[in-house]
Amino acid sequence: MPFDVSAGGRPAAVPGGADAGPPAGRPGTLAGGADAGPSAGAAPARRRLPVEYVLPLRWSGDAGLAELTGYLRELGRLVDVTVVDGSAPEIFARHAAAWRGVVRHLTPDPAVHGGNGKVVGVLTGVAAARHEHVVIADDDVRYDEAGLRAAHRLLGGVDLVRPQNHFDPVPWHAWWDTGRTLLNRALGADWPGTLAVRRSTFIAMGGYDPDVLFENLELVRTVRAYGGTEATPPGLYVRRLPPDGAHFRGQRVRQAYDDLAQPARLATSLAVLPAVLAALAARRPGLLIGAAAAVVALAEVGRRRAGGARVFPRTAALAAPLWLLERGACSWLAVAHRVLGGMPYAGARITRAANSPGTLRAGRNAQSTPEA
């Protein structure tokens, strides 16, 4: 199912040069501070990357504006940055004043329609991108220079890169959610708040569906359906700021709704509470203890994978059984939301978590089949 995302963008500048070399700078920084210019004995200036960084956002307040502005300023020294801002006019105006001369600041393209505002922002930003390599990131993602260079380098050989987020700092709710991350890592790959994609691939497939809830799964599945390739490097760590506690609590059922697009995961989640209740009814707590221990062991495998012990807390695997219990309860609530018409999102309801791979392949085949 194609979406026209090319009308509002200019032609991409496809980079022809190689990566500038090994990454520099300490973790958590982009260029090690402001560029003071050449001086005696100073290291040569770092080469900018031919990369577009697309940040879609829609804020209702400006509590994190100063911190985000500092990050964008550092980011802009290394890559070109486009912020697609769907905030209310008065907030948009404050952002425009803060980011003038720092980033390119756009409104969402009014010609692009969809229930998921983040996807509308991504469609707008990628269409307007000035480079072939595009990093898409949520407003709580904090790349360092090494991460950007790694994503750029990997996009030289694949169509999409899925990095690995980790929380820093780690308050209790971020620790709790890290249990999910570790299980995902042990069983395959996690779902981060950032992806990197080739603009030519994105445009050729017509973007992706703006009326689904699990937008990153939708983008990955669409790339695959159109014959694209994906890299999921488990050691490409990108820092993520934790949400506040209220936001975390408000996301529990919404994130469980994502599993409606992954039937095997949904079935596993729905089975958790009945299994726990059955063990309690049979007065067999040993079964629960054994199951919890197995989940912790599996999560620890994910924590240690690809040097993950450097970024994930030592106790994080202990959160996995707690998160699994939470997901088991929230999955039933998510199913109830589906029966009632979808998940509330930005004043409306979104029914689909994501399109199935078969649906996307059928859409591609229909697009490529010439009319009689």
Between the CA atoms of 339, 341, 343 and 345, what dihedral angle is there, to the nearest 10 degrees? -170
**pLDDT range class, residue 36, cuts 50, 70, 90:** very low
Task: Considering the chain, tell me which residue range(s) the CATH 3.90.550.10 domain(s) occupy.
Answer: 51-244
In this prediction, residue 46 carries a pLDDT of: 72
Q: What is the pLDDT of residue 30?
A: 63
Instruction: Give the C-alpha separation, 295 to 187, whole Å.
Output: 12
Q: Residue 150's pLDDT is what?
A: 98
Cα distance between residue 150 and residue 259, in whole Å: 30
Mean pLDDT of 35-55: 68
> What is the distance between the alpha carbons of residues 152 and 148, in angstroms, rounded to a whole number?
6
Dist CA 256 CA 346 (whole Å): 17
Q: What is the per-residue pLDDT for 371?
A: 56
Q: How far apart are CA 197 and CA 365, in angstroms?
A: 22
Phi, psi dihedral angles at 249 (to 5 degrees):
-65, -35
**Is the pLDDT at 206 greater than 50, yes or no?**
yes
Burial zone of 7 (CB within 10 Å; 0-12 exposed, 13-18 middle, 19+ buried): exposed
Q: Which secondary structure element, helix H or strand E, spans residue 195, and what is its range?
A: strand 194-198
How far apart (Å, rounded) are the C-alpha atoms in residues 110 and 90? 18
Architecture of domain 51-244: Alpha-Beta Complex (3.90)
Backbone angles phi, psi at 345, to 5 degrees: -155, 115
Interatomic CA distance for residues 311 and 304, integer angstroms: 10
DSSP-derived 3-state class of residue 138: coil
Digit-coded pLDDT (tens) for 190-201: 999 999 999 999
What pLDDT, in 10s, does the model give residues 272-296?
A: 999 999 999 999 999 999 999 999 9
**Residue tagged 């040569």 (tokens):** 44
- Is residue 199 within 8 Å of 12, Cβ to Cβ? yes
